[in-house]
Amino acid sequence: MSQTAAISNQTRRWQEMDAAHHLHPFTTHKELAGKGARVITRAEGVYLYDSEGKRLIDGMAGLWCVQVGYGREELAEAGYKALKELSYYNNFFQTTNPYVAELSQKLADVCPKGIDRFFFANSGSEGNDSAVKIIRYFWNLQGKPNKKIFIARKKAYHGVTMVAASLSGLTHMHPQADLPLPGFVHVECPDWFAEGGERTPEEHGLITARSLEEKILELGAENVAAFVAEPIQGAGGLIIPPANYWPEIQRICRKYDVLLHVDEVICGFGRTGQWFGSDTFGIEPDMINMAKGLSSGYQPIAAVGLGKRVGDTVFNSDDEWSHGFTYSGHPVAAAVALANLEIIQKEKLVEKAGGTTGAHFQKKLAELADHPLVGQTRGVGLLGAIELVKNKKTREKYPDLGTVGAQCRNHCFAEGLIMRAIGDTMVLSPPLTITESEMDELFALARRCIDLTARDLGLV
Ligand SMILES: *Cc1c(COP(=O)(O)O)cnc(C)c1O
């Protein structure tokens, strides 16, 4: 038997076990069972390898999270050392561990001004869920128990638990679980490319920001707890607000005493060229949520950061705070996150994302704008989006939104590139460690796959 055949049999066995017993996130299982899942077995730097030995350049850093690239010895070592030293202990009942104490200090050093107390969870969804509980508790302590409604945005992604999915504004996430829960409402988002029509991006930014003010006035400011938003909406299609959007949001939140909870799960840890999206857009959040890049995905860990107002109120309460996970501040996850942040600092990955690496990425991205199928490219730092359109001038998309994007994504997989399709918006978010020659390879493949998609459509 040839070696390829042996590998294929192994792959087939994994696919069969998987199809029989594994419920996948965001997957149509009926469709997957017919095809068999792609089995990823190994990763190094910016490359993934599947069980058939095929190499893929990962233009998405996993799920927007592998800031320092795959297979880092330092992180394996940090995890191994912590596993041997203190494999587990909890932080309940007035106990802590060295790793979580040092990680908290490190986060206080790098987080946006004023954010200096941290609660640890295991995922971004749990972070947002916890943030909602903290904010409810805050308003109760403030003697304003009516301030309970959370306003988020259409096309927002804040995770999948009952509360995080209720905050999310991707409406396809709601009906299966009868969401959103009561008390979660959504306002417009600054998606100029899809919805801006004849307006300029700035006009659209201002009008969509003011939809928050209208909603607050409609609900009564005395009933609104917080506005929750990503600096740049990620899973909603890489929606980058114009410069006037965030200052207007900040003004509205202040005016009506609505807390601003910024979901930094994608934008945090250098992705936008500064430590946090809040830094890039000049946002002064009351609270932030972090996950993904916090550990570069090497361990499941998330953190909710509290600013002074909320932090002082919660820390000075006489009550026991009735919240926390068995694994909140897990020593191994904290050790790995700490080592990850040390790599980000030592290798100046934030400075590079905001400097040479980011500049090269944005230059290569912008070069795709001349393609006949591309209606716009946009990006910040190491985030990039490519809009596939029917009409470059009017921004009209192909009918049956998502079909062309899926076609392009399938070409990418076949050609050895991971580029995500959100509708017909192709999205890139590579590891911050990506080199110029790797970026050149990535964008050459991206162009080739957009060409192949154009050929499918009969354009060339
Ligand atoms: C991924 C993501 C989440 C959810 O994180 P999980 O770890 O998948 O629960 C929350 N918010 C944003 C902005 C995200 O991108």
pLDDT tens by residue, 75-99: 999 999 999 999 999 999 999 999 9
Distance CA 388, CA 405 (A): 7
Q: What are phi and psi of 316, to 5 degrees?
A: -95, 5
Q: What integer is the mean pLDDT of 369-396? A: 97
Evaluate the CA torsion angle 123, 89, 106, 84 in order and state its sign: negative
CB 121 within 8 Å of CB 127: yes
Does the predicted model carry a pTM greater than 0.85?
Answer: yes
Tell me, using a 6 A CB cutoff, whether residue 427 lines ligand 1. no
Distance CA 414, CA 436 (A): 23
Q: Which has the closest alpha carbon to 164: 125, 132, 191?
A: 125
Tell me, using a 6 A CB cutoff, whether residue 169 lines ligand 1. no
Distance CA 118, CA 377 (A): 36
Among 266, 278, 299, 301, residue to substitute to test ligand 1 (most atoms within 8 Å of Cβ): 266
Confidence band, pLDDT 50/70/90 cuts, at residue 13 = very high
Q: Which has the closest alpha carbon to 37: 60, 14, 70, 66?
A: 14
Quote the pLDDT of residue 5: 54
Confidence band, pLDDT 50/70/90 cuts, at residue 460 = confident
Q: What are phi and psi of 398, to 5 degrees?
A: -70, 150
How many A from CA of 157 to the centre of ligand 1?
Answer: 7
pLDDT at 7 over 70: no
Confidence band, pLDDT 50/70/90 cuts, at residue 2 = very low
Quote the pLDDT of residue 392: 95
pLDDT at 6 over 60: no
How many A from CA of 448 to the centre of ligand 1?
Answer: 31
**Ramachandran region of residue 364, left (φ > 0), alpha (ψ -120 to 50) or beta?**
alpha
Q: Give 111-150 pLDDT, tens digit per residue.
A: 999 999 999 999 999 999 999 999 999 999 999 999 999 9
How many A from CA of 385 to the centre of ligand 1?
Answer: 19
What are the angstrom distances between the C-alpha of 403 and each of 156, 387, 412, 422? 22, 13, 14, 10
* Tokens (6 digits) for 47: 């490359």
Which residues, 6+ apart, have CB-to-CB distance to 205 below 8 Å?
Answer: 190, 192, 241, 242, 243, 244, 245, 248
Domains of the chain: 38-68+350-456 (3.90.1150.10), 73-346 (3.40.640.10)
pLDDT at 424 over 90: yes
Residue with CA nearest ligand 1 atom 10: 158
Quote the pLDDT of residue 33: 86
- Ligand 1 nearest atom to the CA of residue 264, by list position: 13
Confidence band, pLDDT 50/70/90 cuts, at residue 245 = very high
Distance CA 120, CA 291 (A): 10
Portion of the chain with pLDDT greater than 90, in percent? 97
Tell me, using a 6 A CB cutoff, whether residue 263 lines ligand 1. yes
Distance CA 437, CA 49 (A): 19
Quote the pLDDT of residue 34: 85
Q: What integer is the mean pLDDT of 257-264? A: 99
Q: At 425, is the secondary structure helix, strand, or coil?
A: strand
Half-sphere exposure of residue 4: CA atoms within 13 angstroms, side-chain side: 1
Among 24, 130, 158, 422, residue to substitute to test ligand 1 (most atoms within 8 Å of Cβ): 158
Mean pLDDT of the chain: 97
Distance CA 71, CA 50 (A): 15
Quote the pLDDT of residue 1: 39
Q: What integer is the mean pLDDT of 193-207? A: 98
Q: What integer is the mean pLDDT of 385-392? A: 97
Q: Give 38-73 pLDDT, tens digit per residue.
A: 999 999 999 999 999 999 999 999 999 999 999 999
Burial 342-356 (b: 16+ CB within 10 A, else e): ebbeeeebbbbbbee
Confidence band, pLDDT 50/70/90 cuts, at residue 173 = very high
In Å, the largest CA–CA distance within the chain is 74
Q: What integer is the mean pLDDT of 390-415? A: 97
